[in-house]
Amino acid sequence: MSIVEGARFGHVNVIARDWRALAAFYTDVFGCVFVPPERDYAGADLERGTGVPGATLRGAHLRLPGLGPDGPTIEIYQYGAMPEGLPPAVNRPGFQHIAFVVPSAAEAREAVLGAGGRPIGEVVTLETADGRFVTWAYVTDPEGNAVELQSWSDVRPG
């Protein structure tokens, strides 16, 4: 097995039905920051790269919070034509959610729900193998993408 020298994490991609509305959600709720320029792609190279005939793609990158000006981004793009998506299922194989560490998972859950997200499960607390506690909940963003909210403590909350 060989290692790719110089590799570093760059971004996570989310395909949106309305990229501007979804970008506003992540900016307003989690404090993500727009990274110019907006992207607007079309043509033969995009078609060959994506394997999507007639592809057009618009969107932007948002800097994720808490990691500084060179931290990774969430890339929110919208194709000109898209098939219907599957309903969210946190146990489906493959990439399933993005997670945010927050001061209070319960308060963040309410903020997400108030901004158009939906609940997937309840807020729960689990004890980790090292004796810490993680309080977490799954929700969706307004387009149905799964988001995990988690807060950590050295003592059992509540």
CA atoms of 134 and 152, how far apart (whole Å): 5
Cis peptide before 69 (omega within 30 of 0): no
Give pTM, 2 decimals.
0.87
Q: What is the mean pLDDT of the chain?
A: 92
Cβ(76)–Cβ(59) below 8 Å? yes
Tell me if domain 11-79 and domain 97-153 are identical in fold: yes
- What is the CATH number assigned to the segment(s) 97-153? 3.10.180.10
Please give the C-alpha separations between residue 68 and each of 12, 16, 71, 141, in angstroms, as whole numbers: 16, 25, 5, 24
Strands (E), the chain: 11-15, 33-42, 56-63, 73-79, 97-101, 118-119, 124-127, 133-140, 146-153
The CATH fold assigned to 11-79 is 2,3-Dihydroxybiphenyl 1,2-Dioxygenase; domain 1 (3.10.180)
**Segment 28-85, tens digit of pLDDT:** 999 999 999 999 999 999 899 989 999 999 999 999 999 999 999 999 999 999 888 7
Where exactly are the structural domains of the chain?
A: 11-79, 97-153
